[in-house]
Amino acid sequence: MNVWLRPATPLDAGQAGAILHRFQQDTSWMPKEHSGAEAISFCDQMIAKGWVSVAEVETHRRIVGFMAQDGAEICALYLTAEARGQGIGKAFLARAKAASPSLKLWTFQANTGAQRFYLREGFVEVQRTDGAANGEGLPDVEYHWPPKQGESDHEP
């Protein structure tokens, strides 16, 4: 799959929102709280802030993933099921690492695949919470890159 990363445009909100909504629908532990239209609106808001890059299949003009980054914080990283394991997530993170001396992100404790991915990419777990501060109310994990002195370097 030939994919290139580029800044998102407002016209990408529909495809990015569909990826986000599909993840919600296909993930058993994820609450089904938001409609497809709400996911598109959420992606549109992040795109308007200039936070989003997309992974586009070169020949089809089809988006297979997106990452939202606000300064040092990775706010979202989602790929279609077919795009996972193709190096696209790693490419998004490489770009983020090149642009910022440090990064932080949160993922849900139930998302063990994401946790393995971030640990492989050099992130370290900093803390776990009960999820009271996130919109879904799910327990989550904060990760940092690169590890700072004194931060945990153990796997969950």
pLDDT, tens only, 56-91: 998 778 999 999 999 999 999 999 999 999 999 999
pLDDT of the chain along its 156 residues, tens only? Answer: 689 999 999 999 999 999 999 999 999 999 998 999 999 999 999 999 999 999 999 877 899 999 999 999 999 999 999 999 999 999 999 999 999 999 999 999 999 999 999 999 999 999 999 999 998 999 999 999 997 766 554 444
Tokens at residue 72, please?
Answer: 């040092």
Q: Considering all CA atoms of the chain, what is the largest pairwise distance in Å, rounded to the nearest integer?
A: 46
3-state secondary structure of 59: coil
User: Around Cβ 137, how many Cβ atoms within 10 Å?
Assistant: 12
- Helix, strand, coil percentages, rounded to 5, for the chain: 35, 30, 35
Identify the pLDDT of residue 156. Answer: 46
pTM of the model: 0.90
Asked if omega into 10 is within 30° of 0 (cis), the reply is no
Identify the pLDDT of residue 124. Answer: 97
Residue 140 CA to residue 156 CA, distance in Å, equals 12
